[in-house]
């Protein structure tokens, strides 16, 4: 299953709930303000890494927030084509 998280973990419990309720084999795509969770050595980076889930981060949203040099190498940056490909690969999806 693909879980798409769009809100900052500092303003909403969406990412926390996603990690709590998603299957460990799920994949998570961080978009919009949720990309802040992928900051290297940030408060959420370790929780995402330890979750065992594959984490993707939308590159355009990273650039829009001036975080290009801040994102952890543990996560895969994807462009819009990668976003579309992820949605095509997952029949079931959940938006947080």
**Which pLDDT score, from 0 to 100, does residue 8 have?**
97
Domain ranges of the chain: 2-95
From the candidate CATH numbers 3.40.50.300, 3.10.110.10, 1.10.10.60, 3.40.1260.10, the one assigned to the domain spanning 2-95: 3.40.1260.10
pLDDT at 65: 97
3-state DSSP of 19-85: HHHCCCCCEEEECHHHHHHHECCCCCHHHHHHCCCEEEEEHHHHHHCCCCCCECCCCEEECHHHHHH
Q: What is the pLDDT of residue 45?
A: 95
Q: Which residues sit opposite 58 in a β-bridge?
A: 78
pTM of the predicted model, to two decimals?
0.95
pLDDT in tens, 9-28: 999 999 999 999 999 999 99
Contact 35, 62 (CB under 8 A): yes
**Per residue in 34-88, pLDDT tens?**
999 999 999 999 999 999 999 999 999 999 999 999 999 999 999 999 999 999 9
Residue 54: CB atoms within 10 Å: 14
């Amino acid at each position: 299953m693909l879980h798409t998280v769009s809100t900052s973990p500092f303003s909403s419990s969406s990412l926390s709930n996603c990690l709590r309720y998603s299957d460990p084999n799920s994949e998570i795509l961080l978009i919009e303000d949720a990309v802040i969770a992928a900051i290297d050595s940030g408060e959420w980076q370790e929780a995402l890494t330890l979750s065992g889930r594959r984490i993707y981060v939308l590159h355009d949203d990273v650039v829009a927030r001036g975080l290009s040099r801040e994102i952890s190498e543990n996560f895969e940056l994807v462009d819009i084509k990668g976003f579309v490909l992820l949605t095509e690969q997952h029949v079931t999806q959940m938006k947080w």
